[in-house]
Amino acid sequence: MRDKKAPLGEHLALLAVKHNLDSAKFFQMLVLTKEKQKTSCGDLSIECRGKKGAGRVFLIRKDSHIVAQLMVPEEFLSSGGNPLMRFMDTEKVHRYLAKKSEAQPRTISDLRVGMCHVNLNAKVLAIPEPSPVYTRFGNNAVVATAIIGDESGTIKLCLWNSQINCISVGDNVEIKNARAFAFKGEKQLRVGTNGVLRARQERAINT
């Protein structure tokens, strides 16, 4: 059921995330579903039950189960573009993605900036020479940005200090409790102090 205190856009964005839908396509299907019509988006069916005041009432089902019934103002539907996008970075969406990440290993193509508790299996493709850095905490450290990949794509993995020597190029690695973040506009992965980086069939390294 919808939390009536939450913005409508946040609720629709969360529906899209829960059902692995592209938010732009989901919003467009709502716009295109006229009164007494039905459309589909992914595994959801969308039915416009009629108009109510200055909006439309939608019934959204998955198979025979009702997922949501809600009134969407015409003003929202006519806003253009993809108004759901600005709600994809809300705390509620992040909490759901974090919980979902804990339940199963991810593939690289699944990763979105802001995801936490990411579990991932991948292969180490490259580890460049580490560089010395001076952290904001006043400490000296070394960092290397490795490249890892799986069948779905590649991503940079930020390695700090002892992490650099615990894996090698060609290793199949298991990553637990990592975080996806953006650095200079590029998506990367980091295994923090509560994470685990393990070369499979080798000892686990707690960072």
Q: What is the pLDDT of residue 203?
A: 45
Q: What is the pLDDT of residue 204?
A: 44
pLDDT, block means (10 residues), the chain with 207 residues: 69 90 92 88 92 93 92 92 88 78 72 85 94 80 93 94 92 91 90 86 49
Show me where the domains of the chain are located: 8-87, 100-206
List phi, psi (to 5°) of 28. -65, -35
What whole-number distance in Å separates Cα of residue 59 and Cα of residue 39?
11
List phi, psi (to 5°) of 206. -90, 130
Contacts 24+ apart (CB under 8 A), 189-196: 189/111, 189/118, 189/120, 189/148, 189/155, 189/156, 189/157, 189/158, 190/157, 190/158, 191/157, 191/163
Q: What is the pLDDT of residue 93?
A: 84
Domain 100-206 belongs to what architecture? Beta Barrel (2.40)
Which stretch of DSSP H or E encloses residue 83? none
How many angstroms separate the Cα of 97 from the Cα of each of 16, 66, 101, 177?
A: 12, 22, 6, 13
Stated pTM of the model: 0.50
Q: What is the pLDDT of residue 103?
A: 54
> Taking every pair of C-alpha atoms in the chain, what is the biggest distance, in angstroms?
65
What whole-number distance in Å separates Cα of residue 207 and Cα of residue 204?
10
Q: What is the pLDDT of residue 88?
A: 86
Could you tell me which residues are beta bridge partners of residue 48? 58
